[in-house]
Amino acid sequence: MRTREARLPGNYHDAVVKWRDTFIPDYDFLMDNWEKHFPKEPRFKLCAFRELGICNEIECGDDVGKPKITCPSDLGPDRARHLLGAIRAQASTEFGSIQQHRLTLARAQEETDQVWVLRMMAEELRHGYQMLHLLLEDDWSSVSDQTGPDLVEEILSMQTGSHVLGAFNIDFDSFVDNIVFCALIDRVGKYQLAMQRVSAYKPMAESMPKMLREEAFHLATGVVPMRRWATEAAEGDVYISMEMLQKAINKWLPRGLEMFGDERGGGSNVRMGFKPMKNAEAQDQYRAEVGKLVDDLNMRYLRARLPELGRNEADKLMEEIETERSTRHGVGWEDLIHLSHPHFFRRRGVPAFTMVGFEGETFEALDDYTAHLRRHLPESYLAGRDFRDYLETLKQVAAGELSAVDASRRMPSLRRVGGSCPCSRSVRWVSEEPLPAAADQPAS
């Protein structure tokens, strides 16, 4: 397996470093302590990686079997426009998650958890860098009026609230959010990357393998502390309860499901050869995978509560508790974590702004649904802007003043906050210097 290593042209690279200094102020701490925490792993490096020797033929869609495409102008306008949108969205999520994580990073109780999140943030920066590399290395002028500097500036000047995808517009309220986000939302990232590994656009496909290896670490950054917390909760620690984990999952899972796009869509991605699965299929697989994570947490909790049980006995007991909703040996159904119904608390896609409860029950009265959400979501989240915006919009839908489709459109979406307006609060990150001729450094 060979990899080509590439760097953005000088001023773009510097813009990302400047962004890093603002949003990852502990980056130097990470590098100074790298060997202590990750003694067997190569040091983090800010660059783009392209895996060489991947499949040369288109693997899905109308053009299956034809050679993969290497430059945007050969894609045709529809496919090129579609792909450009996907790369911008991907870049936005990478930078967006860093802005969220930094809010509560310092609140971790364990240094190891904190350093793992910090490494994950650095790797998200590299993922964003990788996407900028896709935008800058090739010529997108056939489908976009934006110049390279415009595209980069737009992405680097986004703040929480202006990112393309909803999950990246929601503030973190505690370090539990950092961890549950990694376990749930980075898992969506893993699905997207795995699907894009077969992309008909070869530079995209080549960008995926390294990102996927890094994404596996991001999932571990979430899952490992969640497992520990479930065990500690069973042993009587007061810090993070199963209820807190449940509510944090309730906050993030609906957003994770929505990141796959509308349940009726995704056909054009498959036809165009960019992804092998439609939205609903990928979303179902994702939800089943989160279900396995929850089962694992529950089993760890049960076995820590009842350490005298063997594996088979624990399996049997768990099945009884789950199917009968009973309490056995002091462990009840309500002590465990459960997956919300896929239509619960949704604001995009087929069930957007329907009042569907945690178990799939439907509500007629807005007040009843609001009370239901209050019981199932973290208190700190209820006090935030995102929930208020959602509820205000839901009220209008329930009153018949707004259609669900228009309401969905109103939820946080892309806004241009870049520096064309001198009174904009955002910062211009890219200086207007001529580009150096060579974009790449030799592979190493």
CA-CA-CA-CA torsion for 155, 159, 165, 166, nearest 10 degrees? 180
Q: Which of residues 315-374 bind Fe ion (CB under 5 A)?
A: none
User: Residue 105: which residues within 8 A CB-CB, separation 6 or more?
Assistant: 26, 114, 117, 118, 121, 175, 178
124 binds Fe ion (CB under 5 A): yes
Reduce the DSSP state of residue 75 to 3 states and report it.
coil
Query: Is 255 one of the binding residues for Fe ion (CB under 5 A)?
Result: no
Binding of residue 119 to Fe ion (CB under 5 A): no
Exposure of 39 by Cβ count < 10 A (0-12 exposed, 13-18 middle, 19+ buried)?
exposed
Q: Which is nearer to Fe ion, 127 or 348 (CB)?
A: 127
Give the shortest CB-27-to-Fe ion separation in angstroms: 16
Going from the C-alpha of 22 to that of each of 25, 103, 107, 429, 430, the distances in angstroms are 6, 12, 19, 11, 14
3-class secondary structure, 67:
strand
Question: Distances in Å between the alpha carbon of 386 and those of 120, 255, 381, 382?
Answer: 25, 12, 8, 8
The distance of closest approach from Cβ of residue 275 to Fe ion in the complex, given in angstroms and rounded to an integer, is: 17
- Of 211-250, binders to Fe ion (CB under 5 A) are 215, 218
Residues 6+ apart with CB under 8 A from 225: 110, 113, 179
- Which one among 189, 225, 351, 378 touches Fe ion, defined by CB under 5 A? 189
- The reply on whether position 197 binds Fe ion by CB under 5 A is no
Site membership for Fe ion, residue 206 (CB under 5 A): no
> Integer distance in angstroms from the first to the last C-alpha of the chain?
13
Q: Which is nearer to Fe ion, 223 or 242 (CB)?
A: 223
Kindly tell me which residue out of 79, 102, 119, 127 binds Fe ion, with binding defined by CB under 5 A. 127
User: Closer CB to Fe ion, residue 144 or residue 221?
Assistant: 221
CB of 306 to Fe ion, least distance (A): 35
CB of 120 to Fe ion, least distance (A): 6
Q: Work out whether 153 is an interface residue with Fe ion (CB under 5 A).
A: no
Residue 325 beta carbon to Fe ion: minimum distance, rounded to whole angstroms: 36
Residues that bind Fe ion (CB under 5 A): 94, 124, 127, 186, 189, 215, 218
